[in-house]
Amino acid sequence: MSHEQATLGEWLTEPLPGDVAASIDRIRSTEGVERVVVLPDVHLSGIFCVGTVVASRERVFPGAVGSDIGCGMMAMRFEAFASEVIPDNSGGMRILRALRTLVPTNRHSDRTMPDALPAELSPLALTSMPLRNRAARDGRVQLGTLGRGNHFLEFQVDDDGALWVMVHSGSRGMGQAITQHHLARCQRDATGLAFFEVGSAECIEYEADVAWARRYASASRRAMVTTVSVLLETWFGAQADADSIIACDHNHVASEDHYGQAFRVHRKGALPAEDGQPGVIPGSMGTSSYHVTGRGCAESLQSSSHGAGRALRRSDAVRRVSRKQLALQMREVTYDRSIEKRLVEEAPAAYKDIERVMRAQSELTRIVRRVRPVLVYKGI
């Protein structure tokens, strides 16, 4: 039985590379997929590209969510000028050293006895015993840790000189565990693509665990921002502006109404952008990021890019970007030079131009504020 190809919406900075175009075409031809949206930060990552939105009515595709379920952003302003908190590189390095201890990239389960998970993250809410055990052990330990790869914590300055903190992190291994557990229970189409039938017991359980992972990732980001708030108040008397918080995530599946119909909307590296909905779109660790509100564009399934998007694979960045080039690109930002050799994977040159990305999606989001990094903390 043939399947009519899904409709397509594109907001791009440049023509799609051949491998990305082939991936998009395959997804559009997948049974059950009704609309695909391609955003300007799109890049290849497995079967489903990062920077895409997939809408279906009868099927849920875990691959269209990705394994780091709930990965997202949180930003908050402080009643302080950035220049007061980080007057120079030595002041910034003092903060970096504190962050290594207070906001670790990882904790070892056998050496750590943190508090129990909060009530809203009870392991009992998960749908299987292996996942409950994982949450009670590793999930409890990793809550409030940053992770590695493209996750980061930045101190930023807005155009008025005010200090902001922004965190990008995910579900710290829990999303991966949930994805792997449920993939083993999926049906497969003729091409081997994994899916659930909407309304099936397996789909209901997957979506329940996705909701748990999203709550977990959000709580983890909030824990890190709270830790930073205590540090800044203790050291500098800088008060956090709780009303300024912007929180969003960009790896999920949700039931939403579009075009007068109910869809399962999968976002893999895509930001929800309903009319007036606040969001954060990061650039790279050496370039601007943007606070935005959505415009509610129907054709994009009320979505926008989740960031600048990678221009170079990690292996390509290691080959093409030298440590000297990284230092030049980061000349106005405090960062840990002891891990410079590994940081080239995340060099600004490894990412697309955020200004072009924002122009390409001007009908999807309104820019509220630009912020620039003054200190970057990453775990590689």
Residue 241 has pLDDT above 60, yes or no: yes
Higher pLDDT, 292 or 341: 292
Classify residue 1: in a domain, yes or no. Answer: no
Q: Are 269 and 52 in contact (CB under 8 A)?
A: yes
Question: Looking at residue 108, what is its pLDDT?
Answer: 75
| Domains in the chain, number | 1
Choosing from 43, 168, 182, 306, the catalytic residue is 306
Identify the band that residue 111 occupies on the pLDDT scale cut at 50, 70 and 90: low
Integer Cα distance of 125 and 69 in angstroms: 16
Classify residue 2: in a domain, yes or no. Answer: no
Residue/partner pairs of 119-126 with CB below 8 Å, 24 or more apart:
120/215, 120/219, 121/212, 121/215, 121/216, 121/219, 125/208, 125/212, 126/178, 126/208, 126/209, 126/212
**H/E segment holding residue 275:** none
CATH of the domain at 322: 3.90.1860.10
| Catalytic annotation present for 108 | no
What are 245-272's pLDDT values in tens digits?
999 999 999 999 999 999 999 999 999 9
Question: Looking at residue 1, what is its pLDDT?
Answer: 44
Q: How far is CA 58 from CA 26, 31, 34, 47, 355, in A?
A: 18, 10, 10, 20, 37
What are 189-217's pLDDT values in tens digits?
988 899 999 999 999 999 999 999 999 99
What are 124-159's pLDDT values in tens digits?
999 999 999 999 999 999 999 999 999 999 999 999
Residue-number span of the structural domain to which 341 is assigned: 7-378
Classify residue 322: in a domain, yes or no. Answer: yes
Classify residue 213: in a domain, yes or no. Answer: yes
Task: Please give the share of the chain, as a percent, with pLDDT higher than 70.
Answer: 98
What are 160-193's pLDDT values in tens digits?
999 999 999 999 999 999 999 999 999 999 888 9
Integer Cα distance of 185 and 194 in angstroms: 9
Question: Looking at residue 89, what is its pLDDT?
Answer: 85
Classify residue 230: in a domain, yes or no. Answer: yes
Mean of per-residue pLDDT scores for the chain: 95
Q: Are 32 and 250 in contact (CB under 8 A)?
A: no
